[in-house]
């Protein structure tokens, strides 16, 4: 066999240590055999196993293949495990980033993001001279989380026996808070709150910030939040106008409610991030909105006049035994409300919820009533305006009159009496008034009622205002015109009633009443409330004549013949014009009128020759006059208020009016 060429087989460097060892063994065996032959000894040699070159080349490769298969298997298994781990990790990452991403982001943001609210300061309410009727001071409300704090105290005691006993700690907190607040509330009441199962309670409100700071330093378990305190320096002064707020600082009654958007202002806010340790992260402040404080509202009322009128109203109620008494004072020319008072007024500086026995509303604008004879001014003005009579005209007035199916009588028995037109109103004759109203007719009379503003809200900007009720002409029955001219069968508020007389005081031009004079922004900018446009009711001449005729109502006469029904309203040295009123109240049980329950009214102008003030009064079912004297007249209350106003403002005395007015022809 030809030996393979050197270069045809694997080289030695490729054989590896096992092949080299075998060649070495074979060379050693050959050498031994050669030596034995030379020595002449016959040595039996085992036949050598023959290995072809192919075998020599193939055998190592086969052994290497077995080892490589094992390695590949392990490698693949490892890769599979790694792939599985990566796949699970990717799935988890996908779960976090996609389906739960928004929730996790919100959760993370909630842990870091903080928004602080900067509370706006509520605006003041001031009177026409700038005196404060309501203003706000900064205060604190002390709060506590009973369930949470007790749990924390119990856990702290469990971990550290030297920690304070939970019950003793609650007692310490109650004692500390009560002492700092002057025992209001007392420790027992506070401890009851601390032991409750509530998640959150208020321990005290309207706390001075300095006192609250001391309490929270000594009792960190107690929370403190800003809760401004509304101050009403006059107490119940003008409370029926001003109203009040709730504990959250929102308007609840009166102007505090209707003007809440102006008074409240706009809270500010700022957002920032805070770390888990509670420390603000530097540079994280954003979304900064500065608070805009509320505007100041200036009223037309004068707090001195309001105080006096309110005092007089309460006194009249007490002396007369009336169910309630209400008064309104207007500026005769501008229609501005100078005072608006009722009795039994609540105190907005105290808890309103505990004053259920007090009058929380404003009867002057929200409680209409049948006015009685003060409504006769409509007939007086109509007759003069349409040229249907004159003040000195004498009418033969009987004691009763039939209209449709109704017989109307005067309040006193009399036969036919020669009353002047002036005397009809001075004596308040129902019969004479209806005789004059028939000259006017229903249509023109109703038109005059509308000009006087009845049946429509005044727009005075006070909440809860009623329009009263005037039935339309097309709904009148045959007897309607027997009641309406004498003030029965229609209703009005006291402010509407005063507004009628303001028109006569202002030369026939009615100016809708207003109570808001101006608003003053937090920057000091002043915005005057627009003056309402006037409504021409009657001519200047008619208004002047009506004023002069109504002087007869307060005229005195020792004989009584030329004396009016409201003589107690007279003020020495001044000409006064006015009108008394008495109206039966409706019995809701039968829908008919009571025989002995009345509305008593009075409306007047002071002075009549140079009007400055218009005063409207209403007494609900009095048993005596406003001054406690026999009768049921409100005229004494007018006398007190008008006399005080004229003297306070040094109004010049009226000129001599001349001879007394003639009410009854002789």
* CB-based burial, 41-52: b 16+ in 10 Å, e otherwise: eeeeeeeeeeee
The Cα–Cα gap between 558 and 118 comes to 71
Q: How far is CA 241 from CA 13, 18, 134, 340, in A?
A: 117, 117, 11, 7
Q: Within 10 Å of residue 650's Cβ, how many Cβ atoms? A: 6
Annotated catalytic residue, options 236, 258, 373, 382: 373
The Cα–Cα gap between 178 and 175 comes to 5
The Cα–Cα gap between 168 and 177 comes to 14
Work out whether strand 125-126 and strand 296-299 pair parallel, antiparallel, or are unpaired. Answer: parallel
Q: Which two tokens stand for residue 493?
A: 């508020």
Q: How far is CA 535 from CA 7, 295, 308, 503, in A?
A: 133, 31, 31, 9
The Cα–Cα gap between 3 and 243 comes to 128
Phi, psi angle pair for 327, to nearest 5°: -140, 145
The Cα–Cα gap between 666 and 59 comes to 164
The Cα–Cα gap between 210 and 202 comes to 18
* CB-based burial, 141-174: b 16+ in 10 Å, e otherwise: bbbbbbeebbeebeeeeeeeeeeeebeebbbbbb
The Cα–Cα gap between 311 and 641 comes to 10
Q: Cβ distance 613 to 330 under 8 Å?
A: yes
Query: CA triplet 137, 142, 148: central angle to 5 degrees?
Result: 155
Strand partners, 590: none
DSSP characters for 191-232? HHHHTS--S-EEEEEEE-HHHHHHHHHH-TTSEEEE--EEE-
First to last CA, the chain: 182
Strand partners, 619: 325, 600
Q: Is 95 a known active-site residue? A: no
3-class DSSP state for residue 50?
A: coil
Phi, psi angle pair for 182, to nearest 5°: 70, 35
* Residues involved in catalysis: 373
């Amino acid at each position: 066999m030809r030996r393979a060429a050197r270069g045809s087989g694997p080289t030695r460097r490729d054989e590896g240590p096992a092949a080299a060892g075998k060649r070495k063994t074979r060379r050693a065996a050959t050498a031994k055999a050669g030596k034995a032959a030379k020595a002449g000894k016959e040595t039996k040699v085992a036949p050598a196993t023959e290995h072809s070159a192919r075998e020599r080349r193939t055998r190592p490769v086969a052994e290497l293949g077995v080892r490589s298969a094992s390695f590949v298997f392990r490698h693949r298994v490892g890769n599979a495990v790694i792939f599985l781990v990566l796949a699970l990790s990717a799935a988890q990452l996908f779960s976090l980033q996609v389906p739960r991403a928004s929730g996790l982001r919100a959760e993370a943001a909630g842990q870091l993001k903080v928004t602080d609210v900067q509370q706006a300061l509520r605006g003041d309410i001031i009177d026409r001279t700038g005196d404060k009727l309501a203003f706000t001071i900064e205060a604190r409300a002390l709060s506590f989380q009973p369930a949470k704090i007790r749990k924390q105290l119990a856990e702290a005691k469990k971990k550290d026996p030297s920690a304070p006993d939970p019950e003793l700690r609650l007692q310490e907190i109650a004692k500390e808070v009560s002492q700092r607040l002057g025992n209001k509330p007392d420790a027992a009441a506070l401890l009851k709150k601390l032991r409750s199962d509530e998640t959150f309670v208020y321990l005290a409100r309207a706390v001075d910030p300095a006192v609250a700071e001391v309490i929270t330093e000594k009792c960190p378990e107690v929370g403190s939040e800003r809760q401004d305190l509304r101050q009403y320096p006059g107490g119940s002064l003008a409370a029926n106008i001003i109203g009040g707020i709730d504990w959250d600082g929102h308007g609840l009654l009166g102007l505090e409610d209707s003007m809440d958007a102006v008074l409240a202002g706009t809270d500010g806010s700022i957002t920032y991030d805070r770390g888990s340790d509670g420390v603000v992260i530097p540079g994280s402040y954003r979304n900064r909105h500065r608070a805009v404080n509320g505007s100041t509202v200036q009223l037309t009322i004068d707090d001195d006049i309001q105080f006096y009128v309110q005092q007089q109203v309460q006194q009249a109620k007490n002396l007369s035994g009336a169910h309630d008494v209400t008064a309104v004072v207007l500026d005769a020319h501008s229609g501005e409300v100078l005072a608006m008072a009722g009795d039994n007024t609540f105190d907005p500086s105290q808890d309103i919820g505990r004053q259920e026995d007090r009058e929380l509303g404003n009867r002057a604008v929200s409680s209409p009533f049948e006015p009685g004879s003060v409504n006769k001014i409509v007939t007086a003005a109509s007759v003069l305006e349409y040229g249907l009579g004159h003040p000195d005209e004498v009418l033969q007035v009987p004691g009763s009159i039939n209209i449709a199916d109704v017989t109307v009588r005067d309040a006193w028995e009399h036969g036919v009496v020669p009353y002047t037109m002036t005397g009809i109103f001075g004596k308040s004759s129902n019969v004479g008034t209806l005789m004059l109203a028939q000259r006017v007719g229903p249509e023109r009379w109703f038109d005059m009622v509308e000009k006087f503003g009845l049946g429509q809200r005044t727009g005075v900007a006070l909440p809860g205002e009623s329009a009263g009720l005037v039935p339309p002409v097309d709904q009148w029955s045959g007897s309607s015109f027997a009641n309406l001219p004498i003030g029965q069968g229609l209703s009005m508020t006291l402010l509407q009633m005063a507004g009628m007389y303001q028109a006569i005081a202002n030369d026939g031009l009615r100016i809708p009443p207003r109570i808001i004079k101006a608003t003053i922004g937090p920057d000091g900018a002043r915005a005057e409330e627009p003056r309402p446009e006037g409504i021409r009711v009657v001519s200047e001449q008619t208004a002047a004549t009506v004023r002069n005729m109504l002087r007869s109502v307060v005229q005195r006469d020792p004989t009584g013949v030329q004396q009016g029904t409201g003589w107690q309203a007279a003020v020495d040295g001044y000409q006064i014009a006015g009108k008394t009123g008495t109206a039966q109240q409706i019995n809701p049980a039968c829908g008919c009128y009571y025989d002995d329950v009345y509305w008593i009214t009075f409306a007047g102008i002071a002075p009549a020759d140079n009007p400055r003030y218009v005063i409207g009064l209403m007494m609900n079912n009095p048993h005596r006059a406003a001054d406690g004297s026999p009768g049921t007249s409100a005229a004494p209350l007018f006398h007190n208020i008008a006399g005080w106003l004229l003297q306070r403002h040094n109004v010049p005395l009226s000129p001599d009016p001349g001879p007394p007015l003639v009410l009854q022809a002789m």
